Structure 1
Amino acid sequence: MSAKVLLVEDDRAVREALADTLELADRACIAAGSFVEAKDRIRSDFTGVILSDMRMPGRDGFHLLDYAQGVDPDLPVILLTGEGDVPMAVKALGRGAFAFLEKPCETSDLLAVLDRAQKSRTMVLENRRRITESGDAAAARRQEQIAEAASEPGLTLADRMARVEAALLEEALARAGGQAGVAAQALGLPRKTFYDKLARHGIRADHFRTG
């Protein structure tokens, strides 16, 4: 996954200088002059990191940070601050900012922080991909089990229906992360009925909890 930086800086000269620095360091830079310009780039599937000025007219760095946190709490936001903004930047760290840098900052310091942020972002997205693929594979296996239960020879109709019901209960629990109430709602069953069915089939909801 290539390094990518969404740069948000209202001062055109500073923005262009930073963009040049990033591109010379082989970072793909997407430059924006305001939060409004950058907003559509801030998505949960954004593979890079955000580098934003703290003080900007209109929507400032705090607003951008809060918005990014709402979109994806694991999206790294690095804030650029002036000397008088350091207390604000420290406050921003408590609100989820990845790091802050004082302007002007050394290129080596900037790149080092960006590298750490990019590694963190890459790891988060890779873990999400693995979880999704694992979940898709498990769901496919459960669907096969349901089909097999419905067509297995030598079983009475009642036995087949019981096996299909058990497979459906397990599917609902797996999708709900082991939360029985959520699974019951997804199946349109009262909680007591759902729990009774679990007990009848010997299924434990806690076996499907992910964390």
Structure 2
Amino acid sequence: MPDAQLIHVIDDDDAVRHSLAFLLESTGFRVRQHDSAAAFLAAGVPDKGGCIITDVRMPGLTGVELLHYLTTHGCRIPVIVVTGHADVPLAIEAIRAGVQDFIEKPFTDELLLD
């Protein structure tokens, strides 16, 4: 399957990460799971194709900080932020950083897959 179908799921909560991976794999996507933004970066940032689904609040580098890092290093992979701690300033910061979508937990499978 091409890299365009590869989704990186980044979340420090094992249950959430595994659940997202299961959902995405059941619809035909390839998934790589990372338990932190640092682990994702250590695995090597993809240079094309795919997308990233990341939590906002994680130990170390947050999802928005990861987005800033990717943007400043020329990585144009679409990023979807999911969070259970949304507020207007956070949403604005994520949008200004270039997030593709900002989704509040809990969310339906259909919302994410659309």
- What TM-score, normalized by structure 1, do the two folds share? 0.49
Displacement of 1:63: 1.3
**2: CA distance, partners of 1:99 / 1:3:** 17
Q: 1:86 is matched with which residue?
A: 87
The residue type equivalent to 1:14 in the other structure is V
Q: Highest CA radius of gyration, 1 or 2?
A: 1
**2: CA distance, partners of 1:110 / 1:50:** 12
Q: Does 1:51 align with 2:67?
A: no
Displacement of 1:78: 0.8
Determine helix, strand or coil for the equivalent of 2:82.
Answer: strand
**2: CA distance, partners of 1:22 / 1:41:** 21
Q: 1:194 is matched with which residue?
A: none
Displacement of 1:72: 2.7
Determine if contact 1:6/1:50 at 8 Å carries over to the other structure: yes
Determine helix, strand or coil for the equivalent of 1:41.
Answer: coil
Q: 2:112 is matched with which residue?
A: 110
Displacement of 1:74: 2.4
Q: 2:44 is matched with which residue?
A: 41
Greater fraction of residues in strand: 2
Displacement of 1:96: 1.0
**1: CA distance, partners of 2:55 / 2:75:** 19
Q: 1:29 is matched with which residue?
A: 31
User: Which residues in structure 2 correspond to 1:2-151 (within 5 Å)?
Assistant: 2-39=4-41, 40-43=43-46, 45-82=47-84, 84-87=85-88, 88-112=90-114
Taking every aligned residue pair, what percent have the same amino acid on both sides? 33
Displacement of 1:53: 0.1
The residue type equivalent to 2:15 in the other structure is A
Unpaired stretches in structure 2, ≥5 consecutive residues = none
Corresponding residue pairs, total: 110
Deviation by residue 1:99-154 (Cα, 9 ceiling, x = unmatched): 11111111111011xxxxxxxxxxxxxxxxxxxxxxxxxxxxxxxxxxxxxxxxxx
- What TM-score, normalized by structure 2, do the two folds share? 0.87
Determine helix, strand or coil for the equivalent of 1:66.
Answer: helix
Name which structure has the greater RCO, CA cutoff 8 Å, separation 6+: 2
Determine if contact 1:79/1:89 at 8 Å carries over to the other structure: no
**1: CA distance, partners of 2:23 / 2:70:** 24
Determine if contact 1:81/1:89 at 8 Å carries over to the other structure: no
Unpaired stretches in structure 1, ≥5 consecutive residues = 113-211
